[in-house]
Amino acid sequence: LNYGNMLSDQVTQLEDVIDDSDIAVPQADVDQLAVFRGQMEKLEADWQAVTKKDLADLNELMRKNHVAAIGISVPIASDDLDN
């Protein structure tokens, strides 16, 4: 989502245009931002489904087959690696 003309970049650019505008923002821009935000919400919901259900189902299958589970963790800060 963070590369080129992908969705998050488009949302950011459009929000910047709207925020920085000294004149009334065209309704088409406001409408497009709502479309982009709806798409972002859908992607977030899909990701939540993957992490909550699909990952749990995969881990159960892996557990049955004696394969180590997969988890999602917070990355370790680089300064923590020095300790």
Determine the pLDDT at residue 68.
Answer: 77
Model confidence pTM above 0.75:
no
Alpha-carbon distance of 79 to 61, in angstroms, equals: 36
pLDDT in tens for each of the 83 residues of the chain?
455 458 878 888 888 888 887 888 888 888 988 898 888 888 888 888 888 888 888 888 888 998 877 667 776 766 655 55
Token couple for 68: 């180590």
Determine the pLDDT at residue 1.
Answer: 47
DSSP letters for 10-78: HHHHHHHHHHH-SSPPPHHHHHHHHHHHHHHHHHHHHHHHIIIIIHHHHHHHHHHTT-------PPPPH
Determine the pLDDT at residue 82.
Answer: 54
